[in-house]
Structure 1
Amino acid sequence: MTTLVTGGAGYIGSHMVHALVDRGEEVVVLDDLSTGFDAVLPENARLIVGDVGDAAFLDRIIAENDIDAIAHFAGSIIVPESVTNPLKYYSNNTVNSCTLIGAAVRGGVKSFLFSSTAAVYGEAGQDLINEDAPLAPMSPYGSSKLMTEVMLRDAAAAHGFKYGILRYFNVAGADPKGRTGQSTKDATHLIKIASQAAIGLRSGMSIFGTDFDTPDGTCVRDYVHVSDLIQAHVLALAHLQDGGDSFTANCAYGHGYSVREVVDAVKRVSGVDFPVELTGRRAGDPPSLVAESKRIRSLLGWQPQYQELDTIVSHALAWEDHLRKRNSKP
């Protein structure tokens, strides 16, 4: 049996591909390479370049490769862009996911993992957000992901497959072995931007909003190391394949850091005091998103290994330095 990883040449998806290959499992990667990079994939994974929204194409991939499970990472992820270009997000995230779920049903896929987001909660209004918190997205990005959650739940009930929905908080860091990381040049992830400023790829960076109702006025987020996140996916897939029930769970640590704290950590770990501009809020940013993570720990036995902020930052910095050196070669 084989797992299909959509968006598998992207930041998070490529870590999943490495994790599955490390376990000796068969993996097919589907990616259009619009934001992904084939160079970060292991040799043992088969890459198919194509569109996750092409139903006939998906049917052939599933049938020809004996696909038993799908890990769905493909989609658009930039919250401010979703506010200015919402139809792109409903097309890439919701419509394409509907097409993929339909192909999974037709192909008899038994297990489906979906990459969701804390953005489905919106401004939750509680210190630790559990999975039963009200769902009130503040952006088209969050809404597009929530719509997919609903479609997946209803399709599974109608057609008898199992699913796992993992709601990510803020994913950061890079593979500790240096094989993959956040490679998109214009990515909007805070730790990546700060790391680029630290190694001289940016002249500085901005903090968006200093008047939030948080201890230091900047947004607070629960940062989860990408390798810990992927370990949760590996456990989730095993849970479903072993006959476990469908589930929805937060994937984060249960403690947050403010934007100022993250920037200070990057300066401390790198030893570089880069310029930081204070500016206004961005649309769609809630003040604080910190997870209650009891469910995923108890259900899957998840035990994170890289929770320290300085560890997350050091891995991100190492990957940025790797990219800088690679891109500077003639």
Structure 2
Amino acid sequence: MILVTGGLGMIGAHTARALIDLGHEVVVTAHRRTEVPSFLAGKVTVESLDVTDRDAFLDLGHRHDIGDIVHLAGSIPDEDPVRFFRTDTAGLFNALDAARTWGVRRFAVASSLGAYIGRTEIPWHEDLALPLTALPHLIIAFKKAVEPLTTHSLQGSGVQPVVLRIGTIWGPLVDPESPFFYIPPYISAVLRGEKPQPLYADDGGDCCYAPDAGRAIALLVTAETLRHDTYNVSSGRPFTNRDFADALQAITPGLRLELLPGRQGGPGDNPYLDTTRLAHDTGYTPAFDVAAAVADYVAWRADNPR
């Protein structure tokens, strides 16, 4: 059985779905979010768990035969950064403690494409040294710290760490007014019949539809062998705002979206993740391009609030 913490969140739920599709039993933990998505209903075991509670976390091992862990649970910072770091570090350490105690095969943990901020080479690939630079958000700072904390904690344990440098993910279950990626609010405005604020046509960069991200993570967790401990998780190809506008217009009769010419910051390239390593070790290829992702998401939103 595979444990997915934060398994009712967007990335966790799609990871659980992909693992089920690969024939695995899955137990997911939930804390604040308790509604089970329709595509998981009746297919996963749901455990209510605050991952900062070490005893409760370790007790899962008495009820389930857990062979791998995907740690995706996390919180949103408030006005107190120390409280945020304390909470998410406690959850990480309890998950690592469980991995070592239970002797699981693999421990996959969420990092972020933000770890590469400061590198000018495009696309970003796993062999780049991570720069020491100011980071724009507490979540990115924590995700970057997760990497050495995880790999050093598992040294000598027999548990293989899998650091997931996850790209810009969106799709079913994303916050429709997400403060982290402007495309979901843009689509939400269109679905409400409103005229969204115009975007610069050539701005864009990394982007991956959630079902593809979930499948990538599932393939990394279940692969017979992995040659590396760190993998980029995304589509492996950049998008532009023009791609999204064209996709929305193609499925919405009469819709005309205004785009500003060029890039807001002037000529240049938009950063995105190289997924060559992921594809080589797992055979992963994304199933959704922008047009297919937009069509699928709009159909999903017809029956779901997020």
TM-score between both structures, scaled by the size of structure 1: 0.78
Question: Distance in 1 between the 2:28 and 2:85 partners?
Answer: 23
Is 1:102 the equivalent of 2:94?
no
Where 2:303 maps in the other structure, the secondary structure is helix
Q: Which amino acid aligns with 1:161?
A: V
Q: CA deviation digits over 1:215-236, x for unaligned, max 9?
A: 84x4x22211222222222221
Give secondary structure in 2 for the equivalent of 1:254. coil
- State the partner residue of 1:187: 178
Number of residue pairs matched?
Answer: 294
Query: For residues 266 and 92 of structure 1, do their structure 2 counterparts lie closer, same or farther at Cα, with a shift above 3 Å needed?
Result: farther
1:315 is aligned to 296
> What amino acid maps onto 1:156 in structure 2?
L
Query: Structure 2 counterpart of 1:300, which letter?
Result: T
Deviation at 1:25, TM superposition (A): 1.9
Alignment-derived partner of residue 27 in structure 2: 28
Secondary structure at the residue paired with 1:67?
Answer: coil
| Cα distance change of structure 1 residues 43 and 37 upon mapping to structure 2, 3 Å threshold | same
3-state SS of paired residue (2:215): helix
For 1:225 and 1:301, locate their aligned partners in 2 and report how far apart those are by CA, in whole Å.
Answer: 17
Q: Specify the SS of the correspondent of 1:323.
A: coil
* CA 104–206 in structure 1, closer or farther in 2 if over 3 Å, else same: farther
Which residue does the alignment assign to 1:153? 151
Q: Which residue does 1:169 correspond to in 2? A: 167
**Which of residues 247, 250, 275 in structure 2 aligns to 1:265?**
247
Asked if structure 2 preserves the Cα contact closer than 8 Å seen for 1:194 and 1:205, the reply is yes
In 1, distance between residues paired with 2:19 and 2:299? 23
Q: Is the 8 A contact 2:205 2:240 kept in 1?
A: yes
| Structure 1 position 94, deviation (Å) | 3.2
User: Per-residue CA shift, 1:182-238, capped at 9, x if unaligned?
Assistant: 25454333332122111107x454578x6xxxx84x4x2221122222222222112
> What is the deviation of 1:119?
0.8
Per the alignment, residue 130 of structure 1 pairs with 125
In 1, the alpha carbon distance for the partners of 2:127 and 2:120 equals 13
Residues 14 and 155 from structure 1, CA distance in 2 versus in 1: closer, same or farther, beyond 3 angstroms?
A: same
Q: Check whether the contact 2:7–2:28 (CA below 8 A) recurs between aligned residues.
A: yes
Check if 1:250 corresponds to 2:232: yes
| 2:30 matches 1:12 | no
The alignment partner of 2:107 has SS state of: strand
Q: Which residue of 2 aligns with 1:91?
A: 86
Map of 1:52 onto structure 2: 51
Moved more, 260-269 or 244-253: 260-269
**Partner AA of 1:182 in structure 2:** L
Over 3 Å counting, the alpha-carbon distance change for 1:18 and 1:295 in structure 2 is same
Matched residue SS, 1:158: coil
By how many angstroms is 1:274 displaced?
6.3
Amino acid of the structure 2 residue aligned with 1:258: T
Say yes or no: does 1:115 pair with 2:110: yes
Q: 1:313 offset after TM fit, Å?
A: 1.1
SS of alignment partner, residue 141 of structure 1 = helix
1:91–1:112 distance in 2 versus 1, CA, 3 Å: same
User: TM-score under structure 2 normalisation?
Assistant: 0.84
* Cα distance between partner residues in 1 of 2:174 and 2:149: 31
The separation in 2 between residues aligned to 1:58 and 1:305, in whole angstroms, is 35
Trace 1:192-203 onto structure 2 (pairs within 5 A).
192-200=184-192, 203=194
Runs of 5+ in structure 2 lacking a partner?
none
- Residue 129 of structure 1, CA deviation: 0.8
Identity within the alignment, %? 23
Normalized per residue, which structure has more helix? 1
> Quick check: 1:26–1:45 contact (8 Å CA) kept in 2?
yes
